[in-house]
Structure 1
Amino acid sequence: MIRFAYTIVYVQDVSRSLQFYQNAFGLQTCFLHPSQTYGELETGTTKLAFAAHGLAEGNLPGGYLPVDHKANKPLGIEIALMTDDVPAAVAQAVAAGASVVVHPSEKPWGQTVAYLRDPDGTLLEVCSPVQTKPQTGSTKDPSS
């Protein structure tokens, strides 16, 4: 059986990234290698991890395209973090160093969503749980 274990984001400074996510979202570090080149955040059943560019270069001999925090557009992948209070989480993240890409807005499926970039340039979605809306227009009695 396969299960999703973690996402690793390659960054310049692992300790700084862990500190940002703690300050921005209250996520706690559950592991930091003594070399400071790899660390993980406690996020539930999966982990959000960070590895230094040097460690990635050793693992990926053909190289990789690093996230560029100065690029106008983020890479086509995002990390989604769920909360009941999206505007408050966005404000806290901005205070910790994130930049807003799209301010919080209500989606047609009943979810509030905002998009940020962390200090390394990684795209973040901050969202509320999807709220199921009662269906209207049904005349059928559910008890029959």
Structure 2
Amino acid sequence: MGIRFDAIGIFVGNIKKMVAFYRDVLGLDIDWNEEGPHAEFKHEGIRVMMYERKLLPGYLGTEVSFPTGLNGTFELAIDLPLFSDVDKEFERVVGLGAQPIVSPRNEPWGMRTSYVADPEGNLIEIGSWGKGEPKSV
């Protein structure tokens, strides 16, 4: 039996602000009553969960540390069908408040990519491998 990841958890400082960003800017569906330390988004294939940082040491029984500023420890990646979708989505989410980090660009490995950050500095890659691009004749 192989390992299959079921969820990604993000430990957040301000759960209401972060839920609002992922719901209103990125467009993820959520079932959350705006109370409690845990929120979970409904998403195809993998769950995205949030939990308040201040409660984590008590839950784990040990002290923990968190990055400050731009978080370079992980990224969430969005894969879009068309290269042109990268530019459109980048502009859309930046217009709604995402922090622009890397404007859309073509990478030498054949991907079009860009980066934004959420309100707490977590990196979100908006990219495409061009799988939906029309075949040239």
Q: TM-score range by the shorter chain?
A: 0.7 to 0.9
Q: Determine the structure 2 residue equivalent to 1:55.
A: 55
| Aligned mates of 1:14, 1:129 — CA distance in 2 | 32
Written as runs of structure 1 = structure 2, the 5 A alignment for 1:13-52 is 13-29=14-30, 31-32=31-32, 35-52=35-52
Q: Measured at CA, do residues 88 and 63 of structure 1 come closer, stay the same or move farther in structure 2, by a change above 3 Å?
A: farther
Q: Where in structure 1 are there 5+ consecutive unaligned residues?
A: 133-144
- Is this contact kept in 1: 2:80–2:128, CA < 8 A? yes
Q: Determine the structure 2 residue equivalent to 1:107.
A: 107
Q: Taking structure 2 as the reference length, what is the TM-score of the superposition?
A: 0.79
Q: Measured at CA, do residues 97 and 34 of structure 1 come closer, stay the same or move farther in structure 2, by a change above 3 Å?
A: closer
Task: Tell me the C-alpha RMSD between the 2 structures.
Answer: 2.3
Q: Determine the structure 1 residue equivalent to 2:122.
A: 122
Q: Measured at CA, do residues 16 and 112 of structure 1 come closer, stay the same or move farther in structure 2, by a change above 3 Å?
A: same
Q: SS of the residue aligned with 1:114? A: strand
Q: Where in structure 2 are there 5+ consecutive unaligned residues?
A: 133-137
Q: Determine the structure 2 residue equivalent to 1:9.
A: 10
Q: Measured at CA, do residues 65 and 96 of structure 1 come closer, stay the same or move farther in structure 2, by a change above 3 Å?
A: farther
- Is this contact kept in 1: 2:116–2:123, CA < 8 A? yes
| Aligned mates of 1:129, 1:91 — CA distance in 2 | 19
| Aligned mates of 2:20, 2:106 — CA distance in 1 | 29
